[in-house]
Structure 1
């Protein structure tokens, strides 16, 4: 009886361990095979790439933050586990909800949206000091942001 109790406890602990918060990680993007979900362009500028990781662990990739946001705005966030964009300063993946953004019409991005992502406020300030001014944005601002001439209709 005691052995059955120990085995039951171990199984219960294993099951409960699987119920914790799931970690959604970005995948490597291939410039040869991956195309943007919105504009169907290849992801040739990896330093501006974005991606969504769904709760079922499927991924969608995007060539520009504007395309990624267009997808989120059109489809909502209920099935999204996490979304990532490349940091302008380090080229590392950062969560779109934690990033700080700047918009300037003259900043180059693959689809000319002009919105750049940074992991920290300090990185934004350093970039703006070196490259000129821009409008600072947070993730919530991107939902209502006027994304310019690119409607992809």
Structure 2
């Protein structure tokens, strides 16, 4: 009987370890964080992005375009989560679920001209107030013509 209880406890512990890990974004440290792609200091936090790797490390980016350059070069296999700041409220949102708008006239730190929003409605509302753009989803970004960066 004791042997059976020990096996059940060990099985439960092993199953808990197999669950999905929750990834949360970390705050930008202005004094030390630099973009992984362009090596620029991240001084405009409202455009920042980050990738939480499965090994627990973080890669930081000053622009969505730089984050996408990293993904194109390294793939998605080691990515636990990716976050970008919402253009409406400076909140971290999931890159893979966000809606984006592009306009070559939109200013971003590395001039990629793409802004992120939590929902499509938020992006459309923003364009109604600030100016037109091309609506995109994550699946559009890997092959997107990034304006001056092509």
TM range (shorter): over 0.9
Alignment of 1:42-57 (within 5 A): 42-57=41-56
Moved more, 142-151 or 19-28: 142-151
Give runs of ≥4 in structure 1 deviating > 3 Å: none
Q: Matches of 2:142 and 2:37 in 1, distance apart?
A: 16
Q: Matches of 1:5 and 1:115 in 2, distance apart?
A: 57
SS at match of 1:149: helix
Q: Matches of 1:150 and 1:126 in 2, distance apart?
A: 27
Q: How many residues align?
A: 150
Match in the other structure for 1:65: 64
CA RMSD of the aligned region, Å? 1.2
Please report how far the alpha carbon of residue 11 of structure 1 lies from its aligned counterpart in structure 2 after TM superposition.
Answer: 2.0
Moved more, 142-151 or 42-51: 142-151
Match in the other structure for 1:148: 147
Given the two structures, how large is their TM-score scaled by the length of structure 2?
Answer: 0.95
SS at match of 1:10: helix
SS at match of 1:31: coil
Match in the other structure for 1:135: 134
Alignment of 1:1-153 (within 5 A): 2-150=1-149
Q: Matches of 1:113 and 1:101 in 2, distance apart?
A: 12
Given the two structures, how large is their TM-score scaled by the length of structure 1?
Answer: 0.93
Structure 2: gaps (5+ residues): none
